[in-house]
Amino acid sequence: MMDWYGNGMGTGGWVFMITAMTIFWGLVILAGVMIFRGNSGRRNGSGTPDRGPVEILDERFARGEIDREDYEARKTALKASAR
């Protein structure tokens, strides 16, 4: 009545089952790690860490978008508004 499988699953079936379960649990663990890392720390919608206004101002000054006087004035204003 149950002779379709012969003497059981066989070596190939066991190897496939072990491989499939290893891949499955690996993906479950990977998903958990990615979810945990995605929710930790300050991040914006794109997944990159948020930068503060002073850091953005420093980058604009480094790129040459603003001159030294404008940089110093804006930095002073930012620090005064943070108090």
Residue 11 lies in a domain: no
Higher pLDDT, 38 or 23: 23
- Does residue 75 sit within a domain? yes
Mapping DSSP to helix (H, G, I), strand (E, B) and coil, where does residue 20 land?
Answer: helix
69 within domain boundaries: yes
Its pTM surpasses 0.85: no
In-domain check, residue 41: no
From the CB of residue 71, how many other CB atoms can be counted at a distance below 10 Å? 16
Model confidence pLDDT, tens digit, residues 47-60:
556 778 889 999 99
Q: Does 12 fall in a domain?
A: no
When divided into structural domains, the chain yields a total of: 1
- 1-5, 13-17, 28-32: range with highest mean pLDDT: 28-32
Length of the chain: 83
pLDDT digits (tens, 9 = 90+) for 28-82: 999 999 888 876 655 555 555 677 888 999 999 999 999 999 999 999 998 888 7
Determine, yes or no, domain membership for 58.
yes
Residue 5 falls inside a structural domain: no
What is the domain range of residue 56?
51-83
Contact 65, 40 (CB under 8 A): no
